């Protein structure tokens, strides 16, 4: 049985791993989320904001992998 999901993403003649796209999109989304948390002054209630950034990025990675780009 073949896997219906692509194993590589093609940009021109160069093939990329899907995890590279997931990492880039999750990083960009987590930067935006942390910016909004800083703007609304919610991040001052967190003990270690750096770990919150990593946790948000991992959550986005799992959600993007589960529902959008599968690697």
Q: Tell me the per-residue pLDDT of 29-71, one tens digit each, with 9 for 90 and over.
A: 999 999 999 999 988 888 888 899 999 999 999 999 888 876 5
Give 2-15 pLDDT, tens digit per residue.
Answer: 566 657 777 788 88
pTM: 0.78
**Domain residue spans of the chain:** 9-67
What Å distances lie between residue 7 and 1, 16, 62, CA to CA?
A: 15, 9, 17
Two tokens, residue 57: 């990025």
């Amino acid at each position: 049985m073949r896997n219906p999901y692509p194993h590589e993403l093609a940009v021109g003649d160069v093939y990329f791993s899907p995890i590279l796209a997931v990492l880039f999109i999750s990083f960009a989304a987590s930067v935006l989320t942390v910016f909004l948390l800083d703007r609304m002054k919610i991040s001052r209630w967190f003990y270690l904001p750096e770990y919150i950034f990593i946790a948000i990025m991992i959550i986005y990675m799992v959600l993007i992998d589960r529902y959008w780009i599968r690697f």
